[in-house]
């Protein structure tokens, strides 16, 4: 989770950083094209990094059934924890952006990665990796560090890996069952990013410039604060309401929010600036509602379903591929968002994303299997029978 804070320093930098660069007192001036690339380089780098990680996972796959079973009851909490701490970190960056110029904001953002690097120096090696290398004493020490003296999981024999478990091939994805599961997970990632959440976060200051009657910095902080609050609520709701229901309900709310933003700009184009100044708060409410709905639904759940759907043997490779695909979609959306605004204007752009969110609801209704209260064996048996 501290790694999530480190990532958030990059995700949250551009909304306060770019307006600071554009300030007339700034000694750095960049073009609009460069601004667009500055926003989209983060997802591009993340996608390439994920694909590099795939090669490492392919050479050194790890499997730990005992640990997965132990943490199964906390799956929803851990599944949403990554996104929760990302939103907390983004909120903190937005707060700093009010008081710091772009240069000092960038310097302050190095604190989390540096602390993370120091913390990693004190973490033990994976017990599964140590068992694979037949370093049994070191594996026991690692288990004691991770779980304490009183845990049943400190027996290294639970982490033994058979030769069959170590053999992972790209050919495994050619089996119908695994291929279908991977496609389901990738489609969820597609809808996650083509809801335009990263475009909303990266371009939030530009979007709020259309509302002349509000303080943009306060509004950006409010949007990030909404994300933190509802991401925390999501961690409590997933095991109670179910993943499938949350995706459908809040996917529909995301669609309605985008449709309301499209309607707002359509009326602005008809009635003029007076309507924009008078009802600009409507756009802000719709934007906050969209972020809240995403934080409960498509923010954490696709990551969680990935861990529940895909068999353990190929989970490392599949997760790397899905992460790379996820961030590549984010890069595409961040790059084209500005051009969509020029081509079909705000009303057309938001209507397009509203349709994408609505399509995601139908996809979840038709194809996504509910995993609430199901064991890993039940989930795998279902897909094996129906794939």
The string over 308-344, giving b where at least 16 C-beta atoms fall within 10 Å of a residue's C-beta and e elsewhere, is bbbbbbbbbbbbbbbbbbbbbbbbbbbbbbbebbeee
| Model confidence band, residue 163 (pLDDT cutoffs 50, 70, 90) | very low
Q: What is the pLDDT of residue 82?
A: 73
pLDDT at residue 81, rounded to an integer: 67
**286 in Cβ contact with 264 (< 8 Å):** yes
Q: How confident is the model at residue 48 (pLDDT cuts 50, 70, 90)?
A: confident
pLDDT of residue 240: 80
Does the model's pTM come out above 0.85? Answer: no
CA angle centred on 337, ends 333 and 339, rounded to 5°: 130
At 316 the pLDDT is: 72
Closest CA to 350 of 195, 219, 189: 195
More confident call, 253 vs 378 = 253
* Cα four-point dihedral sign 332, 335, 338, 344: negative
Tokens of 232: 């925390």
By percentage, how much of the chain surpasses pLDDT 90?
23
Longest CA pairwise span in the chain (Å): 74
**Given this model, what pLDDT does residue 69 score?**
44
Which segment of 142-156, 193-207, 252-266, 338-352 scores lowest on mean pLDDT? 142-156
Condensed to tens digits (0 to 9), the pLDDT of residues 274-333 reads: 888 788 888 889 999 999 999 999 988 888 888 788 776 777 778 888 888 999 999 999
For residue 142, what pLDDT band results from cuts at 50, 70 and 90?
confident
Q: How many angstroms separate the Cα of 297 from the Cα of each of 227, 231, 247, 288, 304?
A: 11, 9, 5, 14, 11
- Write down the pLDDT at residue 108: 93
Residue-range domains of the chain with CATH: 30-61+169-386 (1.20.1250.20)
- Give me the numbers of helices (H) and strands (E) for the chain, helices first please: 19, 0
The answer to whether the beta carbons of residues 115 and 35 sit under 8 Å apart is no
Band of residue 219 on the pLDDT scale cut at 50, 70, 90: confident
* Cα dihedral 347→350→353→354 (10° resolution): -90
């Amino acid at each position: 989770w501290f790694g999530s804070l480190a990532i958030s320093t990059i995700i949250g930098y551009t909304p306060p950083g770019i307006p600071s660069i554009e300030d007339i007192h700034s000694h750095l001036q960049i073009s609009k094209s460069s601004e667009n690339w500055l926003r989209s380089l983060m997802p591009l780098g993340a996608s390439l990094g994920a694909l590099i990680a795939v090669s490492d996972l392919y050479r050194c796959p790890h499997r730990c059934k005992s640990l997965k079973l132990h943490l199964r009851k906390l799956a929803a909490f851990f599944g949403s924890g990554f996104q929760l701490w990302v939103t907390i970190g983004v909120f903190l960056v937005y707060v700093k952006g009010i008081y710091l110029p772009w240069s000092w904001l960038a310097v302050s953002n190095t604190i989390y990665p540096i602390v993370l690097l120091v913390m990693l120096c004190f973490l033990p090696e994976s017990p599964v990796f140590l068992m694979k290398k037949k370093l049994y004493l070191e594996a026991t020490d690692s288990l004691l560090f991770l779980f304490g003296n009183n845990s049943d999981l400190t027996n290294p024999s639970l982490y033994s890996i058979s030769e069959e478990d170590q053999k992972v091939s790209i050919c495994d994805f050619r089996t119908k069952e695994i291929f279908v599961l991977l496609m389901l997970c990738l489609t969820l990632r597609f809808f996650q990013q083509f809801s335009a959440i990263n475009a909303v976060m990266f371009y939030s200051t530009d979007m709020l410039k259309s509302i002349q009657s509000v303080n943009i910095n306060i509004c950006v902080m409010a949007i990030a604060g909404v994300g933190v609050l509802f991401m925390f609520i999501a961690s409590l709701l997933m095991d109670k309401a179910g993943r499938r229901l949350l995706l459908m309900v809040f996917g529909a709310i995301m669609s309605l929010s985008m449709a309301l933003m499209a309607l707002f700009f359509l009326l602005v184009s008809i009635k003029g600036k007076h309507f924009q100044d008078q009802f600009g708060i409507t756009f802000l409410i719709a934007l906050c509602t969209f972020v809240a709905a995403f934080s409960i639904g498509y923010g954490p759940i696709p990551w969680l379903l990935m861990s529940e759907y895909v068999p353990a043997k190929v989970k490392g490779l599949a997760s790397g591929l899905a992460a790379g695909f996820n961030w590549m979609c984010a890069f595409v959306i961040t790059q084209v968002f500005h051009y969509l605004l020029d081509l079909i204007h705000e009303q057309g752009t938001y209507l397009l994303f509203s349709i994408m969110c609505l399509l995601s609801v139908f996809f979840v209704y038709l194809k996504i299997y509910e995993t609430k209260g199901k064991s890993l064996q039940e989930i795998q048996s279902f897909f094996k029978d129906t794939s």
